[in-house]
Structure 1
């Protein structure tokens, strides 16, 4: 009896354990097909040899953009208040080594509100009147150590700057990585073509060939998905029943391109958000054209002379050979 209890307990717990391993994202089936690179060829009869490569490139510099807003009754007040906040925060941020900053002017507009005009025998009239100004600026911070971002957020929050708009990733190694990917793809596609020749027992040396290739670069800011983690109860209620649903927490997570569709991968293990470079090369081999050319070349034409002699004709020449 005790063994049966443990057995059924294991059955009840095991689905929960599997769910924890796969992640809560599977509650809503948020995993989607990756938009991986795909180089298309015109439709022709023949053989297409293709190679796909993926490179995960760690960024060597970052740019974080924070947005700040200031309101006030006069233009002087607005400018003084926002400049004080930005200047003091950037003075602390620049104490970090290798940090560069830039302040981007976004907008400076008047702010309006409605004033009620009361009349004895008429309806209320709402007039829009200016009450102040709103100034928006963005702070750009360039840095090389990703751990510094937490320090920047802490400093800026002390001056009521909370809005982290985005973080851009940059790498100086992209051109080198692209050349490495092209060299790897060249060796692999040559190996594939040789394998096709062995399987078919023929050579493609004289066949018509066409080639196409392309790169796609995916930045981390483009690769975030969202989902809501919850499990709601289903109730059999009347249509007239009032149901008040609570707001669900939305989670964002980094979803890189899966590495399952590629012939080779550079730096396959991904721990942090990275720049992902995809490369694909395709070679189209027109075997039909080669066979027609071979068949035409193998034909022999014989001319019978008036004397009854047989003379071969050179098909590549306009004149017969006597």
Structure 2
């Protein structure tokens, strides 16, 4: 009986392991179920009927753009007994990095950004005989912080930057920014492609319905959105199981530390009408574009009824006698 149970457990675990090789360890996360349900919900409805007097056409697209240049920022923190010593140590490290990059022919622009310069204190205790001891802060040294900006075009340069900085005890990689040149040209390409699809859809609707929409009013709206790689990184905890660990009953189990990692998950292209550069290898800047045109009846101008005001003029006659007195005549 124990052998059968163990065999069943082993088969179940192997099956889960084979599944993980296809879908990835990320699917063991709780949030992956939520993401999958959202994905299924977005695909649940593939067609909708509109009212007879309104016709809406929508086209959206995605452009995966590889960056033209990158900016990596490292933070260096240096302690020194004097301001001059701290500054000299930082300068020595930055000059050494510049020389190392130049020696290997790396095309990198470097800028040093001043962040802060603060004194560092230590506490000195003053012993007193007839009162409490006093604690005084006295200057011990100085802390100098600077950011090192590295601009480059080849993404493989980042590995060399990490190596050179780590060799000089600079470990804090703050962020990496992505930059695109000639964004307007890429937007124009998306607009042209979307317009072609839009006109094709409108022509198809006219052919199927036999209506040219000439008696309807057209309204149009469009917009862009850009998503950078640093916005699309997610964390997950690596899945591990102790199903095969045979332990004595009542023995204390020491759980292994589960590693937390990150991965890049780009915007999925499943709900777009067109995708430019759909196959990607490295993190990219993703540009979304959407255009909507709606045909609706021309509103009829409502005129308020004209109000005619009739005026009645009352006539009165007066008689003025030679003496100058006025007398009203009734008739």
The normalised TM-score by structure 1 is 0.75
User: Is 1:198 paired with 2:199?
Assistant: no
Give distance in 2, aligned partners of 1:192 and 1:91: 59
Shift of 1:163: 1.2
* CA deviation string 1:161-209 (max 9, x = no partner): 1111111112224322211110010011112222333343322123111
Aligned to 2:153: 144
Give distance in 2, aligned partners of 1:224 and 1:12: 29
Shift of 1:231: 4.5
User: Is 1:105 paired with 2:106?
Assistant: no
User: Is 1:48 paired with 2:56?
Assistant: yes
Give distance in 2, aligned partners of 1:108 and 1:222: 31
Contact 1:116/1:126, CA 8 A, preserved across alignment = yes
Shift of 1:115: 3.0
Structure showing greater radius of gyration is: 2
Among candidates 97, 102, 126, match of residue 89 of structure 1:
97
Give distance in 2, aligned partners of 1:206 and 1:72: 79
Aligned to 1:260: 270
* CA deviation string 1:193-238 (max 9, x = no partner): 22333343322123111111111111112211111224578xxxxx
Aligned to 1:73: 81
Aligned to 1:59: 67
Aligned to 1:168: 177
User: Is 1:184 paired with 2:193?
Assistant: yes
In 2 relative to 1, CA 212–145 (structure 1 residues): closer, same or farther, beyond 3 Å?
same
Shift of 1:10: 5.8
Give distance in 2, aligned partners of 1:274 and 1:223: 10
Give distance in 2, aligned partners of 1:111 and 1:246: 40
Shift of 1:88: 1.1
Contact 1:68/1:136, CA 8 A, preserved across alignment = yes
Give distance in 2, aligned partners of 1:14 and 1:151: 41
In 2 relative to 1, CA 8–250 (structure 1 residues): closer, same or farther, beyond 3 Å?
closer
The answer for unaligned runs of 5 or more in structure 2 is: 1-5, 43-50, 243-251, 302-331
Give distance in 2, aligned partners of 1:129 and 1:23: 56
Give distance in 2, aligned partners of 1:25 and 1:117: 58
Shift of 1:139: 1.1
Shift of 1:60: 2.2
Give distance in 2, aligned partners of 1:168 and 1:243: 44
The answer for unaligned runs of 5 or more in structure 1 is: 37-43, 234-241, 294-322
Aligned to 2:291: 281
The ranges of structure 1 where at least 4 consecutive aligned residues each deviate by more than 6 angstroms after the TM superposition are 5-9, 242-246
The normalised TM-score by structure 2 is 0.73
Contact 1:94/1:100, CA 8 A, preserved across alignment = no
Shift of 1:9: 6.8
Supply the RMSD in Å over aligned alpha carbons. 3.1
